[in-house]
């Protein structure tokens, strides 16, 4: 049976389950899963979706995504092709595809003797996802070193934008478009060995603060400015609290862990309870880190 994306049959799959693409392994199917091979192909499919009124979303590393059991009735794009995973150096800049893993980009930069991104080493997910959420640590955020990005508009047009158009705020951005295609970072030349040591230090420190994977875990809340979400959850007596097959980690209170039988409703109920408990105890309103589809 034909559908608006029939002419792209080689890169489109119908009714594809999304749970396997997320860290929590929860959720239903997407009507179309699209894996374009080139930026041109990506633009063409998005253009057709725009004309046909099909909603479009881009799936990154799935580390901060919760999909409802009803799934997504539009087209989900997976930027897994080599074009979207490339990382290349140009002087003191690095340009990388939005589908590249952030940890891979950090390691590449350090190996090239370019500093600035080391503190991002243990943050999961893709560069595109990191840019959208302005990922970071106490030592800084992705936005600091971004000099430009290529985005795809809702009607399939590719545009180069500067940081002001990306509208970065604390753990968020105002990217106006369907997809980030690539990002260019302007970095600081340094000694590769010293940068490697620095990267390793950040890695060790970060690993002490999060569960070992591949546990079905995800960060629950954004650290508010001046606070640690984990400490606020602990103080409210909510570490280890659970709902059905979902629980907050006892050892890493800002991590949510899903077991067999976990549902998106259980996740949301638990997050709402923790949010309310923290607000009652400390007056701080936590912002959810998980994106919900």
- Name the residues annotated as catalytic: 171
Contact of 114 with 100, CB cutoff 8 Å: no
Place of tokens 């929590």: 24
Which residues make Cβ contacts (< 8 Å) with residue 232, sequence separation at least 6? 224, 278, 281, 282, 284, 286
First to last CA, the chain: 27
DSSP 8-state code for residue 20: G
Tokens matching residue 55: 């909603």
Scanning the chain, the segments in alpha helix (DSSP H) are 39-52, 82-85, 102-111, 127-132, 163-166, 192-207, 229-235, 264-282
DSSP per residue, 83-148: HHH-EEEETTEEEEETTSBHHHHHHHHHHTTEES-GGGTT--SBHHHHHHTT-EETTEEGGGGEEE
Which residues make Cβ contacts (< 8 Å) with residue 148, sequence separation at least 6? 160, 161, 162, 163, 183, 184
* Strand blocks (E) in 139-262: 140-141, 146-152, 158-161, 179-186, 188-189, 217-219, 221-222, 242-243, 246-248, 255-258
């Amino acid at each position: 049976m034909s559908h608006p994306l029939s002419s792209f049959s080689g890169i489109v799959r119908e009714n594809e389950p999304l749970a396997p693409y997320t860290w929590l392994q929860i959720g239903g199917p997407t009507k179309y899963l699209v894996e374009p091979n080139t930026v041109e192909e990506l633009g063409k499919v998005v253009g057709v979706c725009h004309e046909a009124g099909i909603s479009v979303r881009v799936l990154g590393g799935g580390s901060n995504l919760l999909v409802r059991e009803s799934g997504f009735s539009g087209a989900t794009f997976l930027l897994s092709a080599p074009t979207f995973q490339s990382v290349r150096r140009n002087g003191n800049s690095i340009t990388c595809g939005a589908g590249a893993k952030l940890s891979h980009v950090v390691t590449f930069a350090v190996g090239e003797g370019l500093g600035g991104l080391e503190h991002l080493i243990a943050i999961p997910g893709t560069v595109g996802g990191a840019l959208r959420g302005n990922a970071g640590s106490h030592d800084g955020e992705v936005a600091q070193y971004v000099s430009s990005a290529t985005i795809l508009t809702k009607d399939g047009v590719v545009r180069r934008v500067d940081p002001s158009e990306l509208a970065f705020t604390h753990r968020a951005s105002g990217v106006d478009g369907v997809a980030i295609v690539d990002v260019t970072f302007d970095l600081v030349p340094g000694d590769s060995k010293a940068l490697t040591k620095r990267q390793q230090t950040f890695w060790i420190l970060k690993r002490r603060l999060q569960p070992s994977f591949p546990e079905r875990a995800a960060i629950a809340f954004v650290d508010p400015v001046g606070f640690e979400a984990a400490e606020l959850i602990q103080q409210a007596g909510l570490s280890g609290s659970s709902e059905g097959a979902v629980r907050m980690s006892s050892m890493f209170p800002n991590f949510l862990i899903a077991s067999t039988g976990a549902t998106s409703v259980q996740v949301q109920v638990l997050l709402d309870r923790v949010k309310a408990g923290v607000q009652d105890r400390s007056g701080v309103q936590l912002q959810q880190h998980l994106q919900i589809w």
